[in-house]
Amino acid sequence: MPHLMFTKSFTQQEPLPEEAIENAVVLMRTGRLFRYNTDAEAGDAALLEQEFAAYMGKKFCLACSSCGSSLYMALKVAGVQKGDTVLCNAFTLAPVPGALENSGAQPVFVEIEENNYTIDLADLERKAAQYKSRYLLLSHMRGHIADMDAVMDICQRHGIVLIEDCAHTMGAHWNNKKSGSFGAIACFSTQTYKHMNSGEGGLLVTDNEEYLAKAIILSGSYMLYEKHLSRPDKAVFEKIALDVPNYSSRMDNLRASLLRVQLRNLEAQCQRWKDLYHALAAELAHTPNIVLPSRSPKEDFVPSSLQFSIENSTPQNIRQFLKTCEERGVHIKWFGEPKPIGFTSSYKTWKYLGLTQTLPKTDAILAKLCDIRLPLTFTTQDCTLIGQIIHQAAKEILA
Ligand SMILES: Cc1ncc(COP(=O)(O)O)c(C=O)c1O
């Protein structure tokens, strides 16, 4: 049988909606791109914050330059001081340890589960007690959502402040509750590969007045915080304004204008991602030596990518399999390479943290873990074909 081939690009996103492009052009003609360069009218950044907070059912939102910068600010406003331990699941991406390092925290990584790549709750419980940490930065990495009822229970019992990294869970739910509405603070990404695309960008949400006021000032508001629509009363700022530095991590009106249009269509886009995932998963479900994560019926995930584990295979085998898929047009990333490649670093490669921890369970999982991007430029037929190519290559090489 001839080899099947796939020819589309795994990095090609959809164009932005025409309305977003038109709005951006109108805004560019005004020249008022800086978020505080407004008179009495509300700028796009301020309006986006109001709209995203409403979407999330949260009191407040702050638009930032990236999710990584918003995570860093979240840690700061939650009170992390130099040397404080912060718990974090070990399966995450480089901006997360970067935010931890930037905040001065001492990260304590928690193992992950083999069957669904989410945080290992027993290890979380153990380390919460052992380190007496007051913070958990929970990264819903690649859209995999842990049992949030159990996570919240652990946090409550140990007096832990939860910060959610929702870079991959915009529009997702656990038990009908939005991902990002569990923690004291949650941070989202609007970088190109995420669920809304402004090139770069982050959205921080919280119900806590003081956290939000501090975050606005940290993000670089030059005492212009009254221009924010999504904010607490002036008095909250006045209490802290002179004690909080300016880290210049704002979002501009141009990017916000692109996101406001996309937010209105987010639910429909989420459904399209789910359809792509299920088309590919259906092919992989019966592929030898390939195991998909098990997903709780309570987890309503919005996958912009798909992960699977390769069983019974040596690293040489896996490399050969990935090479064969690549030659047939299917680009798969692998978390098992000892060196970080593109978007697949692992905690062992974050040398700047000076970690002494070992995480044997996570190591074994990452050694088998693969990752495929699913841009919305793909159709469900494309995903079926990708699945068939992987199936064919797995039968030739992994079986
Ligand atoms: C899990 C995770 N958290 C945080 C981020 C940071 O997002 P940003 O690129 O907007 O800083 C990323 C980026 O891809 C990510 O994958």
**Can you give the pLDDT at residue 1?**
67
Which of 93, 74, 224, 90 shows the shortest CA–CA distance to 164? 74
pLDDT of residue 346: 85
Q: Using the mean position of ligand 1's atoms as its centre, give its distance from the Cα of residue 196 in Å.
A: 13
Q: How far apart are CA 205 and CA 202, in angstroms?
A: 10
Ligand 1 pocket residue status of 304, Cβ below 6 Å: no
Q: Tell the residue number behind the tokens 């982050």, with chain if given.
A: 202
**Beta carbons within 8 Å of 56's beta carbon, 6+ residues apart:** 178, 180, 181, 186, 205
Instruction: Name the one residue in this structure whose structure tokens are 């009218």.
Output: 41
305 ligand 1 Cβ < 6 A: no
List the pLDDT tens digit at each of the 399 positions of the chain. Answer: 679 999 999 999 999 999 999 999 999 999 999 999 998 889 999 999 999 999 999 999 999 999 999 999 999 999 999 999 999 999 999 999 999 999 999 999 999 999 999 999 999 999 999 999 999 999 999 999 999 999 999 999 999 999 999 999 999 999 999 999 999 999 999 999 999 999 999 999 999 999 999 999 999 999 999 999 999 999 999 999 999 999 999 999 999 999 999 999 999 999 999 999 999 999 999 999 999 999 999 999 999 999 999 999 999 999 999 999 999 999 999 999 888 777 777 898 999 999 999 999 999 999 999 999 999 999 999 999 999 999 999 999 996
Is 203 close to ligand 1, i.e. is its CB under 6 Å away? no
CA 167 / ligand 1 centre spacing (Å): 5
Helical residues (DSSP H) of 285-377, grouped into ranges: 315-327, 360-366
Query: With a 6 A CB cut-off, is 64 part of the ligand 1 pocket?
Result: no
Name the segment(s) of the chain with CATH classification 3.90.1150.10.
Answer: 266-397
Contact 292, 284 (CB under 8 A): yes
Q: How far is the CA of 305 from the centre of ligand 1 (A)?
A: 14
164 forms beta bridges with 138, 186
Phi-psi region of 104 (alpha: psi -120 to 50; beta: other; left: phi over 0): left
* Stretch(es) of the chain classified as CATH 3.40.640.10: 18-264
Task: Check residue 182 and give its pLDDT.
Answer: 98
How close is the Cα of 141 to the center of ligand 1, in Å? Answer: 9
185 lines ligand 1 (CB under 6 A): no
Decide: 387 in ligand 1 pocket, CB within 6 A: no
Is 92's C-beta closer than 6 angstroms to any atom of ligand 1? Answer: yes
pLDDT of 337: 86
Distance 298 CA to ligand 1 centre (A): 24
Alpha-carbon distance of 378 to 383, in angstroms, equals: 7
CA distance 193 to 174: 22
Say if ligand 1 is within 6 A of residue 293 CB: no
- Cβ-based neighbour number of residue 358 at 10 Å: 11
pLDDT score for 2? 79
CA of 161 to the centre of ligand 1 (A): 20
For 391, half-sphere exposure in the C-beta direction (CA atoms, 13 angstrom radius) is 15
Q: Indicate the residue type of 152.
A: M
* CATH classification for the domain delimited by 18-264, as one of 3.40.50.970, 3.40.50.10470, 3.40.50.300, 3.40.640.10: 3.40.640.10
Q: How far apart are CA 366 and CA 162, in angstroms?
A: 25
202 pocket-lining for ligand 1 (C-beta < 6 Å): yes
- CA nearest 3: which of 324, 399, 374? 324
Take residue 336 and report the two structure tokens written for it: 């098992």
Cα 396 to averaged position of ligand 1 atoms, centre (Å): 35
Q: Phi-psi category of 312—alpha, beta or left, where left has phi over 0 and alpha has psi -120 to 50?
A: left
- What is the fold, at CATH topology level, of the domain defined by 266-397? Aspartate Aminotransferase, domain 1 (3.90.1150)
The amino acid that residue 204 corresponds to is L
